[in-house]
Amino acid sequence: LVSRKWRVKPTVLDLGDGVTIGEGSLALCAGPCSIESEAQMEKVMAHLVENGVRLMRGGVFKPRSSPYAFRGLGMDGLRDFHRMARARGIKIVTEVMQVSQVEEMHDFVDVFQVGARNTQNYNLLDALGGVDKPVMIKRGISGTIEELLSSAEYVFSGGNEKLILCERGIRTFETASRNTLDLNAVPILKAKSHLPVIVDPSHGIGIREYVPAMALAGVLAGADGIVYETHETPETAASDGAQTLDFDESARLIRNLRRVYQLR
Ligand code: PEP
Ligand code: MN
């Protein structure tokens, strides 16, 4: 069902209020790795509004490699996120980690993110198949393109056709970067599937200085959008600061992404 063989026309998701994800426009989504406080969100949202970015990412349930790391503000954080985002015309992209969260998060979310560690959590995918909101599925840590498409198929066949595929880097033998952003996946996914494809250069390379170059490369490779991490002070971010852009870097990247998209 997610194949081009079944549907030739590219899927474009309409999130309302003039926000779309899919062919015909460049979807930009930015924000901190973790939602930390109202003060933090205030700053990020002002930055996004100033630069015309309508989608904000930010985790309240964080899948951390260490159980001692910051694990997110949970539902309280999401309620604040939702209230502040609604007041500013911003749409929310945030990660759901388990089946029981789908229902409690539902009314506060615009796009459910399935994280790389949960791409093959088939119970979660089944649950999201019954939801009327878009789902962005990230590629698994060591997941193949075919496995990503199979995960999308779970949600789609469950009845939810509002899907976005996200290339976020895979684990390879390379240790010079956090992950290996597989830009090959972009044209391959676009050819195989009618679903929108988004690139996450932050997790893809994991090194702040190189994030803009890989974001721009993602657009040239044919991505329908970019999702990346930004924070007023990346050095103090509760998670993923080393791959997070400050607002100057982010503003420059937004300008360049729009310019490069025009060249396609
Ligand atoms: C994130 O988006 O902050 C995140 C945890 O991403 P991933 O699941 O790709 O590691
Ligand atoms: Mn992160």
Query: CA 96 to CA 99: how far, in whole Å?
Result: 8
Give CA separation, 5 vs 2, 25, 137, 172, 191, in Å: 8, 23, 21, 31, 10
Mutation pick for ligand 1 pocket among 64, 73, 95 (CB with most ligand atoms within 8 Å): 95
115: CA distance to ligand 1 center in Å? 5
Torsion over CA: 234, 240, 244, 247 (sign): negative
Q: Answer positive or negative: Cα dihedral of 45, 94, 22, 224.
A: positive
pLDDT band at 155 (very low <50, low <70, confident <90, very high): very high
- 203 CA distance to ligand 2 middle (Å): 6
Q: Please state the rounded mean pLDDT for residues 90-107.
A: 98
Q: Confirm whether the ipTM is greater than 0.90.
A: yes
Minimum-distance ligand 1 atom for the alpha carbon of 169: 9
The pocket around ligand 1, CB under 6 angstroms, is made up of 33, 59, 63, 115-117, 138, 168, 203
177-204 pLDDT per residue, tens: 999 999 999 999 999 999 999 999 999 9
Question: To the nearest whole number, what is the mean pLDDT of the chain?
Answer: 98
Domains of the chain and any CATH numbers: 21-263 (3.20.20.70)
Nearest to 125 by CA among 90, 147, 107, 99: 99
Report the 3 state secondary structure along 210-245: HHHHHHHHHHHCCCCEEEEEECCCHHHCCCCHHHCE
For position 211, what pLDDT does the model report?
Answer: 99
Average pLDDT (104-131) is 98
Q: How far is CA 17 from the centre of its chain?
A: 19
End-to-end CA distance of the chain: 28
| AA letter at 238 | A
Report pTM.
0.98
Q: Residue 22 CA to chain centroid, in angstroms?
A: 13
Beta bridge partners of 165: 137, 197
> Residue 92's pLDDT is what?
98
Query: Atom 6 (ligand 1): residue with closest C-alpha?
Result: 115
Mean pLDDT for 217-232 is 98
Find the 63 Cα to ligand 2 centroid distance in Å. 9
Mutate to test the pocket of ligand 1, among 200, 231, 244 (most ligand atoms within 8 A of CB): 200
